[in-house]
């Protein structure tokens, strides 16, 4: 009878340990599924951010290229403006040498807004 009782107690201990182990495994599997879900969500968010970053880098590259083109164009226009100013000064000097009457607004440094224009 004692052996049967010891066997029954050991059987009960085995069942309790088995229940505890199964419960722990189920809980760990649930945590694993939740972690995998969060990981998948974070991976998708990362891909979205990565795509946005690539788009922003392409846009930045385009803007840098456009800025370079605009700076080159501005330099070219400023150079042409200086050439025109030099030609204008030369013509004014030539006209002054011929004693011609010159409108004061055409003199370098005397640029004024045309009458009737609004500021």
Entry pTM: 0.52
Answer yes or no: is 93 within a domain: yes
Answer yes or no: is 53 within a domain: yes
Answer yes or no: is 59 within a domain: yes
Which residues, given as ranges, of the chain have pLDDT below 50?
116-117, 119
- Domain, as residue range, for 29: 11-97
Q: How far is CA 11 from the centre of its chain?
A: 66
Supply angle C-alpha 104, 109, 114, rounded to 5.
55
DSSP 98: T
Number of domains, the chain: 1
CA–CA distance, 68 with 76 (Å, rounded to integer): 12
CA–CA distance, 104 with 98 (Å, rounded to integer): 16
List alpha helices for 1-119, DSSP H.
Answer: 2-97
Answer yes or no: is 114 within a domain: no
Answer yes or no: is 119 within a domain: no
- Mind listing the pLDDT tens digit for each residue in 104-115? 676 666 555 555
Answer yes or no: is 104 within a domain: no
pLDDT of residue 93: 83
Report, in angstroms and rounded to the nearest whole number, the Rg of the chain calculated over CA atoms. Answer: 44
Answer yes or no: is 41 within a domain: yes
């Amino acid at each position: 009878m004692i052996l049967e009782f010891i066997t029954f107690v050991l059987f009960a201990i085995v069942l309790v340990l088995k229940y505890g182990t199964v419960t722990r495994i189920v809980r760990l599997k649930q945590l694993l599924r939740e972690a995998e879900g969060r990981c998948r969500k974070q991976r998708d968010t990362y891909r979205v951010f990565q795509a946005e970053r690539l788009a922003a880098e392409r846009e930045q590259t385009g803007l840098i290229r456009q800025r370079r083109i605009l700076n080159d164009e501005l330099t070219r226009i400023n150079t042409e403006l200086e050439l025109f100013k030099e030609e204008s000064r030369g013509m004014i000097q030539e006209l002054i040498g011929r004693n011609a009457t010159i409108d004061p607004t055409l003199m370098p440094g005397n640029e004024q807004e045309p009458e009737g224009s609004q500021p």
